[in-house]
Structure 1
Amino acid sequence: MQVKIMAAGRAGRHGSEPWHLQFSVRDTGIGIPVDRLARLFKSFSQADASTARTYGGTGLGLAISKRLVEMMSGKMWVESVPKKGSTFHFTLPLVAAPQAHSSGLEGPQPQLADLRLLIVDDNPTNCRILTLQASRWGMLPRGAHSAAQALEWLRAGEAFDLAILDMQMPGMDGLMLAAEIRKLPGAMMMPLILLTSMGMHPDDPALARAAFASCLTKPIKPAQLHEVLVRAVSGSKPAKRIPVNAKLDPTLAGRLPLRVLLCDDNAINQKVALRLLQQMGYKADLAANGLEALQALERQPYDLVFMDVMMPEMDGLEATRHIRQRQHNKSQYPHYKSSLIIVAMTASAMQGDREKCLAAGMDDYIAKPVRPEDVRAIVERWGPAASAPEPVEPLLEEAPGDAILPPEASSRCVQAEDPVDMARLLDFSDGNLDSLRELTNLYLTQTAEQMDQLEAAVASSDAPQVRRLAHSCAGASATCGVRHLVPLLRELERQGFEEKLTNAADLCHQAAEEFKRIRNFLETYLASHSELTAKA
């Protein structure tokens, strides 16, 4: 049995006049002959004496229903065609309730803003309702209508902050889907919420095995959904603090108000850059590629765009050219401000890349890995209250360790010092141990997967894939303060760009060994600091 509820609009009422609501229940059963309709609402009577034997029932339910409706000043009747089905109707006169007090959940919610939510439900109506509600709260939802579709997105590398999984789905239910998601390196730690109409208890062993953050029982109320989402993304444990020397001014947004858009396809870079901007008081919006950036600019005006150069679907250079063209067409693109500043974020040291950024229409650029002081310098340079922009020479130098080494130097890159600059990583985590652990785990799982893919690409001599994977992995590594892995990856990127994988296999082996060293170092660091915090 499936129930579908639809609202049919009628003329409104004024004052205390009642609304006459009509409810209709339609089935495609055996139908009822016209000459027997009158008997249908009598106690212990059905259209045919054989009906009770064939289909069950005694005929008492309709009589009770009709009596209840009439007690509420309503009416009940039936329309039927034999062998085609019946439609039962009833009306109720109801007075409109006074306007409800605002719950505070009608608009964007700061705790949920910009979080990417995966909704998996085979019922299009349910999926649509959840998508609309999440969008109202400022989230970035995407609805999959099957478990297979959701797994396809996740295996392709699409990143989500949390997911809602329906329990009852054909082929693969919510528990089975959760088990598959937990096998994916990039989604092992993603909070999962189970949606069920079966009333599962939060302590149900099945939920514990799949490590669900929570369970929601249908029908869902907005307040319940909001509470569960906030709890899932924040966690139940209070954040622990560890000392850090911050380099950002939390009052900067108040002095230099800017609407900021961040465009980057790498989950690590997204998290770090959004955190840096947040520490300066800016709530930046997020786009994962050039197409999403164009769509965001069509919805509302922005003052400043941080634009990654190498992205799938549409790269930063092409997106910038489209933006500059649309700025001259105010009638069609009213939100494209003529004063919009576009800042390139590039980790590439290929000759001529910076010139290409400026030629495409970008105003400024910063080198990856992004440093807090560089972000602050950009904001102060281009802020509304700042003086006229000066030449960008101070930002031209590469961050240490980010240059591409010549092939003969790559084997000498590993030094005896720590493989990770923890001071840099702590800056990005704002000194928060839980944030540091989250960022570190994300980096390790993402990089492990990309290193395996990189090894396969080198083995199959797929130069474009080598370039893409090495670029992505190097960018995330540099952002996290990784020292010696980055030059190896940059050399692999260069060889992929030139389609000459001269010693790529040897470089890939060195990179894999260095990544093992990085993993051991980070895991040891987190374990030791967790023990110190517990003792304190």
Structure 2
Amino acid sequence: LLFSVIDNGIGIPKDRLNSVFEAFTQAEESTTRKFGGTGLGLAISKRLVEMMGGRIWADSEEGNGSTFSFTATFKMVKNPDGSIPLDGEFIGKEMIAEDQGAEKLKGLKILLAEDNVVNQKIAVKILEKQGFVVAAANNGLEVLDMMKKEKYDVILMDAFMPELDGMETTKQIRSEEEGTGKHIPIIALTARAMQEDRQKCIDVGMDGYVSKPIDRKKLFQEIASIINKG
């Protein structure tokens, strides 16, 4: 199957089309400064496509947007009606246990720091559906400003954002908390999932870590674990 995604953004210079699929690469350095991002999205996409036996490429004209396409190989289903029923009793017990745990967390005020507008909207909907009260910030400067006006129970912090990233924002928050007895839980959200990246987040004062793309269940478990510790 062939899939294509078309955008009307800033476009990519012809000589940079191949390099955008490399890890931590943006078409231009100014792109990261202006729009944020780590340059991992396309590299991850390429790896996933290759795992599915396909290929990925981009067609673009600078100033006129881009078209990203990929192919993927799928097996034909011989018996579409022959689905295997899941164990309803097991699923029911698991869902009840998960819901009971989530019930205790309903009403928590969460400050979500995420510079990607699409990711932000999706995360807000997921969190609100779970019963959290959510406020969103686009960068670290907004986080610091919002914290002066409102009290939050947890901060979900994108580690890499424009203007003031999550790492530096966390350092400032921890510095301001010194001697006050206060400690707001901060959970890192990042596409960099190596152990050393996790340790960097912990070293600057974050309490937890959830890798992107975000797994809803793991995110709620991390929030619950940190809240229960407090």
TM range (shorter): 0.5 to 0.7
Shift of 1:30: 6.5
For the pair 1:177 / 2:182, whether they are aligned, the reply is no
Corresponding letter in the other structure for 2:207: A
Q: Of 210, 220, 225, which residue of structure 2 is paired with 1:216?
A: 210
Q: Cα distance 1:92–1:195, how it changes in 2: closer, same or farther (>3 A)?
A: same
Verify: 1:127 aligned to 2:115, yes or no.
Answer: no
Q: Choose from 140, 157, 163 the match for 1:165.
A: 157
Counterpart residue number, 2:104:
111
* Partner of residue 229, structure 2: 235
Shift in CA distance, 91/115, structure 1 to aligned 2, threshold 3 Å: same
Instruction: Look up the match of 1:198.
Output: 192
Q: Say if 1:111 and 1:215 are closer, same or farther in 2 by CA, change over 3 A.
A: same
1:202–1:215 CA contact under 8 A, matched in 2: no
Shift of 1:117: 0.7
After TM superposition, the structure 1 = structure 2 runs for residues 379-528 of structure 1, keeping only pairs within 5 Å, are none
Q: Secondary structure in 1 aligned to 2:3?
A: strand
**Contact 1:119/1:165 (CA < 8 Å) preserved in 2?**
yes
Structure 2 distance, partners of 1:218, 1:171, is 21
SS at match of 1:182: helix
Amino acid at match of 1:136: K
* Pair 1:23 & 2:17 matched: no
Q: Is the 8 A contact 2:189 2:209 kept in 1?
A: yes
Corresponding residue for 2:71? 90
Q: CA deviation at 1:199?
A: 1.8
Is the 8 Å Cα contact of residues 56 and 70 (structure 2) preserved in structure 1?
yes
The residue type equivalent to 1:224 in the other structure is K
- Paired-residue identity, %: 19
Shift, 1:211, TM fit: 2.7
Deviation at 1:29, TM superposition (A): 5.0
Q: When the two structures are superposed, what TM-score results if normalisation uses the length of structure 2?
A: 0.61
Contact 1:114 1:140 in 2 (8 A): yes
Instruction: Tell me how far apart the structure 2 counterparts of residues 188 and 162 of structure 1 sit (CA, whole Å).
Output: 12
Provide the alpha-carbon RMSD of the alignment: 4.2
2:102 partner SS: coil
- Please give the secondary structure, in 1, of the residue aligned with 2:187: strand
Ranges in structure 1 where 5+ consecutive residues have no aligned partner? 1-20, 32-50, 70-75, 237-536
**1:148 and 2:141 matched:** yes
Distance change (3 Å), C-alpha of 1:99 and 1:198: farther
* 1:337-356 matches, cutoff 5 A: none
Superposition pairs for residues 40-119 of structure 1, below 5 Å?
Answer: 68=53, 88-90=69-71, 95=77, 101=91, 104=95, 105=98, 109-119=102-112
> How far has the Cα of 1:78 moved from its partner?
8.9
Do the aligned partners of 2:13 and 2:61 also contact (CA within 8 Å) in 1? yes
- Mapped partners of 1:77, 1:227: distance in 2: 34
TM-score, normalised to structure 1, is 0.29
Matches of 1:171 and 1:133, distance apart in 2? 26
Q: Are the equivalent residues in 2 in contact too, given 1:25–1:89 (CA < 8 A)?
A: no
CA deviation profile, 1:307-351 (whole Å, cap 9, x unmatched): xxxxxxxxxxxxxxxxxxxxxxxxxxxxxxxxxxxxxxxxxxxxx
Deviations 1:167-209 (A, max 9, x none): 1101211111112222445893111111111125389654344
| Higher Rg of the two aligned structures | 1
> Partners of 1:78 and 1:194 in 2: how far apart?
31
Query: Closer, same or farther in 2 for the Cα pair 1:222/1:205, shift >3 Å?
Result: closer
Distance change >3 Å, CA 188–CA 202, structure 1 → 2: farther
2:30 maps to: none
Q: Which residue of 2 aligns with 1:514?
A: none
Runs of 5+ unmatched residues, structure 2: 20-45
| Cα contact 1:106–1:137 (8 A) shared by 2 | no
Any conservation in 2 of the 1:155–1:184 contact (CA below 8 Å)? no
Q: CA deviation at 1:217?
A: 1.2
The SS at the match of 1:219 is coil
State the distance in 2 between where 1:205 and 1:233 align. Answer: 20
1:222–1:86 CA distance, 2 compared to 1 (3 A): closer
Indicate if the aligned counterparts of 2:160 and 2:167 stay in contact, CA closer than 8 A: no
**Aligned partner of 1:112: which letter?**
L
Q: Count the aligned residue pairs.
A: 182
Q: Which has the higher contact order (CA 8 A, sep 6+)?
A: 2
